[in-house]
Amino acid sequence: MSNLLTLTATQALAAMAKGEVSSVELTQAALARMEARKHLGASLLITSQHALQQAEAADKARKAGAGGPLLGLPIGIKDLYCTNGIRTTAASRILENFTPAYESTVTQKLWDAGAINLAKLNMDEFAMGGSNENSAFGPVKNPWDELRISGGSSGGSAAAVADYQCFAATGSDTGGSIRQPAAMCGVVGIKPTYGRCSRWGMVAFASSLDQAGIFARSVEDTALLLQTIAGHDEKDSTSAPLEVPNWVEELQKPLTLKGLKIGLPKEYFVEGLDARVKQAVMNAVKKFEAQGAEIIEVSLPTTEYAVAAYYIVAPAEAASNLARYDGMRYGLRVEGNGLVDTYTKTRTAGFGAEVKRRIMVGNYVLSSGYYDAYYTKAMQARTLIANDFAAAFKKVDVIMAPTAPTPAFKIGEKSADPVAMYLGDAFTIPASLAGLPGISVPAATVEEGGSTLPVGLQIIGNHWQEGKILQVAHAWQTMSGFTPLAIKE
């Protein structure tokens, strides 16, 4: 083993099971790398002491023949999962000193399975953004080219996994925040069906869209962690009362690509899509075709309204969710001259520019004079988008598309133009509005300005078809020939 940290999660777990390495050794190595690579900005809080205690306990449990499926595996957590006794900021000044008194369901499931919490990871403030430049604590640099964005909003998670600082990480996806940074950092990222995981204890952005998910370097690892965090939770009434399949086991059975029906939505291969990204996706599609898959052009005609609808629905829900940050019960409080002044001063100081923009847009589209013109219309568009997908899935098993229209751009390049930034979500938002599962898996690398940059292949499935998209992504990973980032010392 040249460097323990380049193992996949599955390999690291196997090495621990064979006694070749201990959790303490893996955890120490990961913590040392996180400290040494802090300049990337991927972590907001490295929980060294806590991680080492967990690792010692994991090693003890293993000796005693006990422990869950992730026993001793060091991972990172997007900083919007509430972690009991560990600061949780959502990358916002308003929660800069907030320490939750309870644990999110997703993270609790990870600790119950034996995982080790290395760090809380950077993100766009309240998950609002697609470049991780909206964090109150600084951007995340892309490990492939440090002048470029990591993608967002789960940029810290994507970068930490790509940079071998942890074996896997949690993310959250409202309109693309797992798939898009996974594409830009050359790792695997899955957003399951809305309702697959509990949202309890996740700092809310847009509750009808927010969904937990996983980043890892292999599809197999992604399946393993996803099946750990999925499942019904009585604390979240939107979590579905469904059995969680054993996706790892499903991956062991080889998928017959012969006859697999792959849909290509023509509205995703349009102007604005970088020619190299298109090429990378089409090359992947051709390889599937060569294996006997059937390629079928499908139409999702309402796609063009998706970004506009999302940027009404998501801010509307955000405006309501973020009303709780008023300086009264927890979080930042800036004392003012009376109640209203205290609210104003607290929220003015606590929220960043993008968050304020969304709160204003959200309240505007919900205001009585404009509600029907904006919010109702957007909800109607949302229904049409879901209907488009439902019609397509009558004809195909999965849909393939680019994850993002371009590879990672330079930090600062789009900061002055929020609409240009919003358009970067055009290919991930429709599946989010429809509540569908989607995965991004590295498709290829492209050359740009002297840098080698990854681009992602997005595979979208019908509701509850995570198993299918994982299988297709796994098939792709075994035939893609994608060269992951070499570890930088």
List 22, 177, 218, 440, catalytic entry: 177
Q: Which is nearer to ligand GLN, 100 or 189 (CB)?
A: 189
Interface with ligand GLN, residue 425, by CB under 6 A:
yes
Q: CA of 42: how far to CAs of 118, 163, 282, 342, 392, in Å?
A: 12, 9, 32, 33, 38
Tell me the C-alpha distance between 408 and 423, whole Å. 14
* Position among 12, 71, 284, 314 found at the interface with ligand GLN (CB under 6 A): 314
Stretch that binds ligand GLN, among 66-74, 97-105, 126-134, 396-404 (CB under 6 A): 126-134
Residues 177-206 that bind ligand GLN (CB under 6 A): 177, 205
CA 153 to chain centre: 7
- In single-letter form, the type of residue at position 44 comes to L
Q: Which is nearer to ligand GLN, 41 or 129 (CB)?
A: 129
Query: What's the closest the beta carbon of residue 422 comes to ligand GLN, in angstroms?
Result: 7
Decide if 360 contacts 351 (C-beta within 8 A).
no
Helix intervals (H) in 322-458:
339-350, 353-366, 377-392, 418-423, 429-434
* Position among 130, 155, 438, 442 found at the interface with ligand GLN (CB under 6 A): 130
- Is 135 annotated in the active site? no
Decide if 144 contacts 186 (C-beta within 8 A).
yes
Interface with ligand GLN, residue 315, by CB under 6 A:
no
Ranges of beta strands (E only) in 197-286 are 211-216, 261-265
Tell me the C-alpha distance between 460 and 247, whole Å. 16
Residue among 155, 193, 207 nearest 463 (CA): 193
Backbone torsions φ then ψ of 204, nearest 5 degrees: -80, 140
List 135, 153, 239, 432, catalytic entry: 153
Query: What's the closest the beta carbon of residue 127 comes to ligand GLN, in angstroms?
Result: 4
Decide if 350 contacts 332 (C-beta within 8 A).
yes
Q: Which is nearer to ligand GLN, 314 or 443 (CB)?
A: 314
Tell me the C-alpha distance between 379 and 383, whole Å. 6
Interface with ligand GLN, residue 435, by CB under 6 A:
no
CA 266 to chain centre: 25
Residues 163-182 that bind ligand GLN (CB under 6 A): 173-177
Query: What's the closest the beta carbon of residue 347 comes to ligand GLN, in angstroms?
Result: 19
Q: Which is nearer to ligand GLN, 379 or 423 (CB)?
A: 423
- Is 2 annotated in the active site? no
The number of residues that bind ligand GLN (CB under 6 A) is: 13
Count, residues in the chain: 489
Please list, in sequence order, all residues whose beta carbon lies within 8 angstroms of the beta carbon of residue 169, skipping any fewer than 6 positions away: 75, 76, 77, 78, 121, 154, 156, 157, 158, 160, 161, 214, 215, 216
Residues 204-233 that bind ligand GLN (CB under 6 A): 205
Question: Would you give the end-to-end CA distance of the chain in angstroms?
Answer: 16
Interface with ligand GLN, residue 396, by CB under 6 A:
no
Q: Which is nearer to ligand GLN, 173 or 220 (CB)?
A: 173
Query: What's the closest the beta carbon of residue 259 comes to ligand GLN, in angstroms?
Result: 34
Q: In the bound complex, which residue of the shown chain has the CB atom lying closest to ligand GLN?
A: 177
Decide if 393 contacts 135 (C-beta within 8 A).
no
Interface with ligand GLN, residue 129, by CB under 6 A:
yes
Interface with ligand GLN, residue 114, by CB under 6 A:
no
The secondary structure of residue 389, as a DSSP letter, is H
* Position among 22, 153, 346, 406 found at the interface with ligand GLN (CB under 6 A): 153
Dihedral class, residue 25 (left if φ above 0, else alpha if ψ from -120 to 50, else beta): alpha
Query: What's the closest the beta carbon of residue 173 comes to ligand GLN, in angstroms?
Result: 5
Interface with ligand GLN, residue 135, by CB under 6 A:
no
Q: Which is nearer to ligand GLN, 21 or 379 (CB)?
A: 379
Stretch that binds ligand GLN, among 23-31, 53-61, 125-133, 384-392 (CB under 6 A): 125-133
Enumerate the β-bridge partners of residue 447. Answer: 452
Interface with ligand GLN, residue 127, by CB under 6 A:
yes
Query: What's the closest the beta carbon of residue 48 comes to ligand GLN, in angstroms?
Result: 28
Interface with ligand GLN, residue 125, by CB under 6 A:
no
For residue 195 the two structure tokens come to: 């309702």
List 78, 141, 191, 414, catalytic entry: 78
- Is 177 annotated in the active site? yes
Tell me the C-alpha distance between 451 and 148, whole Å. 10
Quick count: other Cβ atoms within 10 Å of Cβ 264? 17
What residue ranges bind ligand GLN (CB under 6 A)?
127-130, 153, 173-177, 205, 314, 425
Residues classed as catalytic: 78, 153, 177
